[in-house]
Amino acid sequence: MTCDRARRLFGACWDDELTQAEREWFEAHLASCDRCRAEYDEFSRAVEWVGALPRTEASPGLEERVLARTRRAVIAPDRLPRSEPRWVAAAAVSAAVVLVVGALLLVPRASWWAPGTEPPRVAYEALRSPTPLPTLKPQAGVEGSAEVMTPERAQVDPESEVAVVPDSLFDHGEDVEFILDPVTLHRGRALVTRAGSRVRGVEGEQAIISF
Amino acid sequence: MSRVATDDEKAFTELVRRYQGRVTNLVSRILNDRECADDLTQEVFVRVFVHRRNYRHGSKFSTWLFTIASNLAKNEIRRRVRKRNWFSLDALQEMLKDSAIQLADPAESQETTLEREQLQAEVGRAIATVPEKYRLALVLRDIEGLPYEEIAQVLGIPGGTVRSRINRARGMLKRKLQPLLRKAATT
C-alpha cells in the first residue's frame, strides 16, 4: 500500500507539485525502498527522454505557403448565408419598382406618340361618382386642416373634373391620368379643394393622379 | 492578434513566423509524420486567419492556437486509424534523422550519434503507440511544456483529468521503454 501511494506521486513529484509534507514522506519512502527508487529513476528517465527529443522545425518556405493558402481561403466564397438587414432587400425592390414605373411613364411620350396627334387619354368614367364628394374648405389658422394643396398650386380640368396637380418633375402639357387601385387614402388629406369648383381627387379606395 | 483580426497581413505573417515552429513540433510529435505535420501546420494557420474574429481577446493566444492544432491532429489520427495506416516508420526515421543531424554535437562520435538516433526513434515510436487522448496530453506537457491549466483549456477537460491522463501516459511510456531503460540503468 505504501509503495502504491508512492507510485501515484511520481508524476506530481516530477512536476514539482507535491506539498512539503508529501515531499518529505515521498523522499523518506524512496530512501527506504529500493524498488520504488528504481521505479522512480526509470520513470524520470523516460520523461526526460521525451522532453529531450529534438524539436521539429518548420520546413523552409512554410510561411509563404501559409500566406498563399490563406489568400485562397479568403478569396473563396463563403458558403454560409450572410445575414443582411431586411430593409436592404425592401429598398432594392422599391427602387426597382420606381425605375420600372418611371421608364413606363417616360418611354411612351418619347416614342409612341406621333407628332401632332392627341396622346392617348386614360379615362375611367366608371370611377366617377354621379354625386360629387363634399368639398372641404380650408380652415384659416388651423394647422393640419384638410387643405393639402393650395388653390394656387392646384389646377382643375373642367372637362374631366379631375384635379390636375402640378409636379415640377414632369411636363404638364399633356394630361395623362393614372389610377392606383387600391390605394387607401384619408379623404380629408387627399381631397383637393378650390372654392366654387367641383373637384374630385378620391373616390372610395381609388385615387386618380393626373399629370 | 488584434491586428490580425483587422485583416493586417503583416501582423498575420509575424504571427506565423513566431509560432510555426511550435505548431510544427507539436503536430509532428503527435502524428510522427514530418510531411503531414507540414500540411497540418499550414491548415492550423489558415484556420487561425479564417476564424480570427472568433478569438476572444481575454484568453491566451497560444492556448487558442494549440487547441486548433490539437483538434486537427486528433482528426488526422482518427482519419489514419480509419484507414489503418496511422503509423509510418519510414517517415518517423526520416524525421528523426533530420532532427538529429540538425542538433548533433560536432564532437560526438559516429557510434554515439547512431545510438542517440536509435534511442530517439524508439522514444518517438513509443509515444506514437500511446492512445490518442493520453498522447495529446503527454505531448502538450512533456514536449511543449504547457502548464496543466492551459492543457485543460486546450483539450477542454478538467485539470484533474489532465493530471490523470498525463500520469497514465507516462506510465504507459515507461512500460514500453522498459528494455531500454533497464539497459541504460546498467551502463
User: From CA B170, how far away is CA A103, in angstroms rounded?
Assistant: 80
Beta-sheet pairing, A162-164 with A155-157: antiparallel
Residue-wise pLDDT tens digits, B22-61: 999 999 999 888 888 888 999 999 888 888 877 877 788 8
- Lowest-pLDDT choice from A16-20, A142-146, A203-207, B59-63: A142-146
Residue B80: which of B151, B10, B30 has the closest Cα? B30
Give me the residues paired with residue A177 across strands: A210
Angle between helices B148-155 and B61-83 (to 10 degrees): 60
pLDDT tens, B70-95?
Answer: 999 988 888 877 665 445 555 555 54
Phi/psi of residue A25, nearest 5 degrees: -65, -45
**The Cα angle at residue A29 between residues A26 and A31, in degrees rounded to 5:** 110
- Give the pLDDT band (50/70/90) at residue A144: very low
pLDDT digits (tens, 9 = 90+) for A69-100: 888 776 655 555 555 567 777 888 889 888 88
Question: Angle at Cα B125 formed by Cα B29 and Cα B181, nearest 5°?
Answer: 115
Q: With CA atoms as reference, report the closest residue to A182 among A129, A127, A132.
A: A127
Chain A residues touching B37 at Cβ < 8 A = 56
Cα A88 to Cα A93: distance, rounded to the nearest angstrom = 9
What residues in A contact B42, CB-CB < 8 Å? 62, 65-66, 69
Of B21, B29, B42, the CB nearest to A69: B42
Instruction: Give the CA count within 13 Å in the CB-facing half-sphere of B75.
Output: 11
B105 with B58: CB under 8 angstroms? no
Which of B68, B95, B181 should be substituted to probe chain A, the one whose Cβ sees the most A Cβ atoms within 10 Å? B181
- Provide the whole-model pTM: 0.57
Does residue A114 register a pLDDT over 60? no
Cell of A172: 404638364
Question: How many other β-carbons are positioned within 10 Å of the β-carbon of residue B61?
Answer: 16
Q: Which residue is associated with the grid cell 477542454?
A: B156
* B165 contacts chain A (CB < 8 A): no
How many other C-beta atoms can be found within 10 angstroms of the C-beta atom of residue B58?
Answer: 5
